[in-house]
Amino acid sequence: MIHYNNSYNPDSEGFYGQFGGAFIPEMLFSNINNLKNQYLEIIKDESFQKEFDNLLKDYVGRPTPLYFAKRLSEEIGAKIYFKREDLCHTGAHKVNNTIGQILLAQRLGKTRIIAETGAGQHGVATATVCALMGIQCIVYMGEIDIARQAPNVQRMKMLGAEVRPAKSGSKTLKDATNEAIRDWINNPIDTHYIIGSVVGPHPYPDMVAKFQSVISEEMKWQLKEKEGRENPDYIVACVGGGSNAAGAFYHYLDEPEVKLVLVEAAGEGIYSGKSAATSILGSRGVIHGSMTMLMQDPYGQIIEPHSISAGLDYPGIGPLHAHLIDSKRAQVFAATDDQAIEAAFHITQMEGIIPALETAHALAVLDQMEVNKDSVVIVNMSGRGDKDLNTYIAVQDSDKTENIPSSGI
């Protein structure tokens, strides 16, 4: 039986302090209400949990290892562990959530799945579970992203999904989200919308956090085995919407001695005008159905974010994280594009693990933690770097990495 009790659960309307809720058009009300009334009962049901656990084990490959990074630990002067979500099937933590949501959709009697995707990682994770269950899958993706992320588009198609281009606006993630919402309004009976992070209207942030919470559930017994204690001193995770961080933090939220560190993408510099440091630059407002922190101009229009990593290139953060930051339960650090690239090359050569560009942001701030040799730091390795190889190759070819191995982390 999984325990989901903690003092950071949202209230019945989906609020974490002053953030969260469901700010939705009237035409989505019945879909969201239906989900809100049923999700807790379904995911706490024993047969659901059994099927979820079995798939996480045999299909995703859980538990993922908690790996002691020996050489890096010596360099930093603390005990550094990696929680290896990069070893999950499809290459990142995202599949934990899509497995949970496809099982939920089946129990709601849904026969058609829609999703939005930016870089294609969530689209691939969704197309994967739809193939697994033999369910129709439609993925909305901005026209520009389709051109930029061709290999993931091909993966989704091979998995049997239909990829529909979003041709309006900036032709990227937020436009794909708008198209998916429009589809859901038109197909309320047979369709479930799988959102890919702890964002969107209630109950999505809570539901996705609960599906991802398996990450910290495993960390507790794994760290106990290795260090004789369940609690690390720090947990460090990158934040786009916030699902890998939510999963890594979940079972530690009520352990105040565990410091929770979120790392945002500072792009070309926090104040460069090309950044995705949402909580630092943002203010309170509504995005994609949720009251949270987002980057907006004085008229409430969204400011386009920038990050070298597609997974962090989002103008908002989930409402749980906005609350954790607001209440000072979590601290925020930022890493620039260059710092992330440098960390990615350094970690690859120190540990033989090529991290996703998103994860590289979390790795880039490790030397800023206040630690001693007995401190235990867990970094959530949200994904692997195969998808980012073209970016890494371009940097390598431009010779920018010549001084990287000697330059510290």
Ligand X SMILES: *Cc1c(COP(=O)(O)O)cnc(C)c1O
Site residues, ligand X (CB under 6 A): 92, 94, 121, 197, 238-244, 311-312, 356, 358-359, 382-383
Q: Which is nearer to ligand X, 105 or 173 (CB)?
A: 173
**Token reading at 384:** 């692997």
Q: Which is nearer to ligand X, 10 or 200 (CB)?
A: 200
The residue among 340 and 371 lying less far from ligand X, judged by its C-beta, is 340
400 part of the active site:
no
Q: How far is the CB of 287 from ligand X (least distance, A)?
A: 14
Rg from Cα positions in the chain: 20
In angstroms, give the least distance from the CB of 399 to ligand X.
27
Residue 47, beta-bridge partner list: none
As given in the structure block, the two tokens for residue 147 are: 């051109």
157 is catalytic: no
Please state at what angle helix 46-55 crosses helix 94-107, rounded to 10 degrees: 140
- How far apart CA 220 and CA 227 sit, in angstroms, is 10
What distance, in Å, lies between the first and last C-alpha atoms of the chain? 40
* C-alpha closest to that of 362 among 255, 266, 252, 264: 264
| Smallest gap from residue 241 Cβ to ligand X (A) | 4
CA distances from 36 to 31, 91, 109, 134, 159 (A): 9, 30, 15, 25, 30
Cβ count within 10 A of residue 266: 28
- In the bound state with ligand X, the residue whose beta carbon lies nearer, of 8 and 79, is 8
Q: Closer to ligand X at the Cβ: 318 or 375?
A: 318
* Between 142 and 311, CB nearer to ligand X: 311
Residue in 36, 79, 116, 290 annotated catalytic: 116
Is 116 designated active site? yes
Helical ranges in 193-242 per DSSP H = 204-212, 214-227
Residues 61, 108, 5, CA angle at the centre, nearest 5°? 60
Closest approach of ligand X to the CB of residue 337, in Å: 15
**Which residue's C-beta sits nearest to ligand X?**
383
Angle at 401 between CA 398 and CA 403, to 5 degrees: 130
Using DSSP's 3-state secondary structure scheme, residue 78 falls into: coil
Catalytic residue among 36, 79, 83, 94: 94
DSSP 305-369: P--SSGGG--SB--HHHHHHHHTTSEEEEEEEHHHHHHHHHHHHHHHS--B-HHHHHHHTTGGGS
User: Residue 191 corresponds to which tokens in the numbers above?
Assistant: 């369709």
Question: Which entry of 213, 307, 375, 382 is annotated as an active-site residue?
Answer: 382
- Do 141 and 116 meet the contact criterion of CB atoms below 8 Å apart? yes
- Looking at the Cβ atoms of 79 and 210, the one nearer to ligand X is 210
By annotation, the residues acting in catalysis are: 94, 116, 382
